[in-house]
Amino acid sequence: MVGEEPNDARPEPSDRVPGAGEGSLDRPPHAGGTSGGFGAPAPWEAPPPGGPGASAPGASGASAPPPGFGPPPGAGQGYGPPPGSAPATAPGWAGAGTLPPPPAAPPGYGPPSGSGQGPRGEANPAQAALIGLLNLSCLGLGYVFLRNWIGAAVCWVATAALLVLALPADVDGVPAGLLIGYGAFLLLAAADGARRGLRATLRLGASFRRLALPLAVVLLAVPAGGSLAYGAARDEAREQALLDRLSAADAEVKSADGLPFDKAEPLLTKALDAYEDLGTKHAGSRAGKLVPARLDAYYETVSGPYEKKTYCEAITPLKHLRGLADSFDKGLLGSRPAKADEPLAHSLYECGTAALAVDTAKPTAAESLNELLGTFPKSSHATRVEPAVREAVKKRTDVLDSSTDPCVATAELRTLRTTLRDMTDASLDGVTREAVAGVQRGDFACGTDQFKDKKYEEAIKTMTEYATAYPDSPQAAHARSIAIAAEIADEEPAAGKRLPPSEVPGGSRMILVVSNDGPGAVDLLYTGPMTGKVTLKTCTTCTKYPGPIFSQGKKIKACQGPASKYPKATLLLPAGDYHFLQKRAGTGSSYSDTKTSKVKIEPGYSYTNCLYVTSGY
């Protein structure tokens, strides 16, 4: 051995082997640069003297040490010659006892100047997966670790564009095409990042390497959390939109309140469509869960006229509510339509009975009561119809003889009669006959009252219609007498002082012969103790007599010819004062001449009366 030197002795920096490389004897960096794995790099170990494969001096015939780093077999700890031996020298090195230079780094290692990415190394799938996962975070973090700023910027722009288009969240959400495109972009970014990171050398500390993969997995929560947050915001927007639809439907119902139903119905129909859609297609939404309560409020609003006791106005809305079972979702309605039955039956009864004596009622009494008896025949209100109608008839017939205006009661009875004739229920046959009899009584009472009130034209019409409508009535003859007396009284008021007697007086009768000595037929009406009417045919050979101017004051001598020449009528009249009205026919149905006269018929006499016509000059 040449002297003794400690194993860790190092040559001076100036001790160099001529022609050797630039390697320093100082401790080199880790061999091969960064391995690219996730663990810490292996510590550097010096090769045996003389380089790999060299034999120590004095060990002739000994086999070469195994490849790799570390002491040869049988050597003690540390490097260098065994204790007590001279330090080994390697050929080509300056001086004895010096250590050889460290091996040079493999080609491609060491970061290029100005780059944040390490040199290319062996394939590292775990690192590639890390970069790909980081790029899936929507933030381009994989490109950031690779120092690929262009790729990172593209990721940021794409994510920002998606946020601009997607926010704020609305009901329709993001178009499916945009989401598919963005998802494809993320997958491409992840694949590209994995490709770039497969052999890249990253300057990452050991601690960060251990945290990198968990961090990448955690960062996946960014798109996932964003999707969940956006979904929640979109769902809330949908909920709010549905609540807005519900509020709009509520406003339609409110605006319809108080309107006539024909004007309110379009608004109510629109609201119902919204309620049905929300309650069926969106039953799980907040708005959908409120629909049942809204339907209760709807029924309450629409049935408002019934609560106000305007029964005729309530009929159509209640029929609408009852009929919803045929057009609205039955599951949503539940038992609500049946709740309209009782109010509807009650309204039909009240409206129908109120219209019993009103001929202008809309709807008519017959319409309402027929619907009640047909739709709810077993309801308590249906059983009240017959007693109510009978009471209405009796109330009016009872006042015919004592009322100051029996014509009003008669008109109401006539309306009742018409109503009952339009009704089909057999239970009303008896009261219908009572109404018919009441109208007959009322017509006679009305005509009599009109005569007493000197409403002669109305009395003529009423009594004439009565005699025509009831020819078999015991009062038909009396009605004709009253009509005749009213016609005379209309020309001679004194004839209307009293009603003609209903019975023909007995006793002796006097003869009154009436002749027609003039052109045109003559109606002769008379009233007194006896009332009647006769018609004299025209005298075809008779002419008008000259008037006062041409007669020069001479007395007219009518009916001086043969008796057979003149049409005659013979009246048998009880004694008394009579009023006569002669109405000579003109052209068509008109009268050319009317004339009144008064005659006193005394017992034991016979009388003649000649009717003639004078000219106006």
Task: Give the strand order in the sheet containing 576-585.
Answer: 532-536, 522-527, 576-585, 591-601
- Cβ partners under 8 Å of residue 463, min gap 6: 444, 447, 451, 479, 480, 482, 483, 486
CB-based contact 303:340 (threshold 8 Å): yes
Please tell me the predicted confidence (pLDDT) of residue 276.
94
Q: What is the per-residue pLDDT for 196?
A: 81
The encoded tokens of residue 11 equal 């040559």
Q: Which two tokens stand for residue 81?
A: 């010659």
CA dihedral 548, 553, 555, 557 (to 10 degrees): -50
d(C-alpha 128, C-alpha 194), whole Å: 4
Quote the CA–CA distance of 482 and 501 in Å, as a whole number.
9
Check if the beta carbon of residue 542 is closer than 8 Å to that of residue 606.
no
- 477-497 b/e (C-beta count within 10 Å ≥ 16 → b): ebbbbbbbbbbbbbebeebbe
pLDDT tens, position by position, 316-367: 999 999 999 998 999 999 999 999 999 999 999 999 999 998 988 999 999 9
Selected from 2.60.40, 2.10.25, 1.10.3470, 3.40.50, the CATH number assigned to the domain covering 502-615 reads: 2.60.40
Give the pLDDT of residue 62: 39
The maximal CA–CA distance of the chain, rounded, in angstroms, is 206
285 touches 236 (CB < 8 A)? no
- Per-residue pLDDT, 341: 95
- Locus of tokens 């790799």: 68
In tens, the pLDDT along 253-285 reads: 999 998 999 999 999 999 999 999 999 999 999
Q: State pTM to two decimals.
A: 0.60
- What is the spatial distance between Cα 77 and Cα 63, in angstroms, rounded to a whole number? 19
CA distance 556 to 554: 6
φ, ψ of residue 555 to 5 degrees: the values are: -75, 135
DSSP 545: B
Instruction: Spell out the domain ranges in the chain.
Output: 125-204, 502-615
- Helix ranges (DSSP H) in 49-175: 125-135, 141-145, 149-166
pLDDT of residue 33: 39
> Which token pair is 196?
């770039």
Q: Which of 280, 272, 282, 301 is nearest to 243 (CA)?
A: 282
562: helix, coil or strand?
A: coil
Q: What's the rounded Cα separation, in Å, for the pair 257 and 104?
A: 96
Give a three-class secondary structure readout of 447-509. Answer: HHHHHHCCCHHHHHHHHHHHHHHCCCCCCHHHHHHHHHHHHHHHHCHHHHCCCCCCCCCCCCC
Those residues with Cβ within 8 angstroms of residue 141's Cβ, 6 or more apart along the chain or in another chain: 134, 135, 152, 216, 219
Q: Name the stretches of the chain with pLDDT < 70.
A: 1-121, 166-174, 203-213, 215-231, 233-234, 547-554, 586-592, 616-617
- Residue pair 219/139 in contact (Cβ under 8 Å)? The answer is yes
Instruction: List CB contacts of 72: < 8 A, sequence separation 6 or more.
Output: 48, 65, 66
DSSP reduced 3-state for 607 = strand
